[in-house]
Structure 1
């Protein structure tokens, strides 16, 4: 699904799952950037998440992926151990 430039700009720098009225990151929290796929540019709060999630990745519900409402997007950390999770695909 393609988005307009305005939609991309609106989402960039927002936190996944945050209310649209309070989209920004909060001090004292740890975030990774989601790269590629339907959630590209969003930040994911990983504060307090188990270490295995930071190594293995996450499956995130999304309404804008290949499978629409009810679908999920797979994101996994980059091998460099940085703060970016790359998109691996969508699942129903």
Structure 2
């Protein structure tokens, strides 16, 4: 994970989830800071995901502007990062 004191992106996931690893690899590869929360290690985080997303599918990515993505493809995630001007187009 890219370390930052106050990242504007939070990725909720699990250690066994291949989609979580893939989305984190996109963020790492683009050098985008994010906070990672393992919803199995933090039950209150799983409750938050369920409350805000209606389910616990992961990765559940919350961006600084309040928008979210659930299980995005690499292309969808990169497009969102471009839209937020976090990476060049």
Q: TM-score, normalised on structure 2? A: 0.28
Mark the structure with the bigger radius of gyration: 1
More helix by share: 2
Q: Normalized against structure 1, the TM-score is what? A: 0.28
Larger relative contact order (C-alpha < 8 A, sep ≥ 6)? 2
